[in-house]
């Protein structure tokens, strides 16, 4: 194999841009921290997908394959998160300023309903959800009656606390008002 010798050519873009390089490094940062590996890998991915197409309307077929792969990956992640009980970070929810006389404020939004009984069934391997239904009903009765938190209820009394339409609502934001800084 014989290599062709190349002579220096001062009229290429590369040599023209050398004068701008110090400014570009100051503005953008050093270029040695970037890698073309991700781009090359995606290029190889698209080349592989080209062979899967029927060579007609290639862009559309490749786009369809890519979107299908993305959806499959999202479905796998969703199933994994459901199995592991991973909680997704939620967006911020706008709320008015809290009244200083209130201890806390939670949005009254009903956008994100959860069926607590179905939720506990799907997460039945989570030890923190053991006796969730009974604990929730006892907590609701304690709040409604103003009972002490250590009060025990009989099973026939627990059924008096029911959740309307089996829906509780997930809220993105809760505001707390502390009038003191000695939180310990």
- Helical ranges in the chain per DSSP H: 13-16, 21-28, 37-52, 58-84, 116-122, 132-145, 155-158
Domain assignment present for 10: no
Q: Is the model's pLDDT at 140 over the cut of 60? A: yes
Q: Please check whether residue 106 is in contact with residue 169, taking contact to mean a CB–CB distance below 8 angstroms.
A: no
Domain assignment present for 3: no
pLDDT at 93: 65
User: Residue 61 — very low, low, confident or very high, per pLDDT cuts 50/70/90?
Assistant: very high
Q: Is the model's pLDDT at 86 over the cut of 60? A: no
pLDDT in tens, 35-52: 788 889 989 998 999 998
* Adjacent-strand bridge partners of 20: none
Domain assignment present for 67: yes
Q: Is the model's pLDDT at 12 over the cut of 60? A: yes
Domain assignment present for 94: no
**Are 79 and 118 within one domain?**
no
Please report, to the nearest 10 degrees, the dihedral formed by the alpha carbons of residues 79, 83, 87, 90 taken in order. 20
Domain boundary among 26, 54, 84: 84
**Are 80 and 114 within one domain?**
no
Domain span holding position 143: 104-176
Q: Is the model's pLDDT at 59 over the cut of 90? A: yes
Q: How many domains does the chain have?
A: 2
């Amino acid at each position: 194999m014989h290599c062709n010798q190349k002579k220096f050519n001062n009229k290429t873009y590369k040599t023209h841009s050398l004068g701008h390089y110090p400014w570009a490094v100051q503005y953008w940062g050093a270029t040695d921290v970037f890698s073309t590996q991700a781009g090359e890998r995606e290029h190889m991915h698209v080349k592989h997908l080209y062979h899967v197409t029927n060579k007609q309307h290639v862009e559309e077929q490749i786009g369809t394959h890519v979107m299908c792969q993305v959806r499959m990956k999202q479905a796998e992640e969703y199933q994994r998160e459901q199995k592991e009980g991973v909680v997704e970070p939620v967006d911020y929810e706008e709320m008015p300023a809290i009244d200083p006389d209130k201890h806390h404020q939670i949005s009254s939004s009903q956008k994100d309903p959860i069926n607590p009984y179905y939720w506990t069934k799907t997460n039945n391997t989570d030890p923190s959800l053991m006796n969730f239904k009974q604990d929730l009903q006892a907590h609701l009765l304690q709040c409604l009656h103003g009972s002490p938190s250590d009060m025990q209820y009989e099973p026939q009394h627990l059924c008096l606390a029911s959740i309307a339409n089996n829906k509780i609502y997930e809220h993105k934001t809760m505001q707390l008002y502390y009038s003191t800084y000695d939180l310990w």
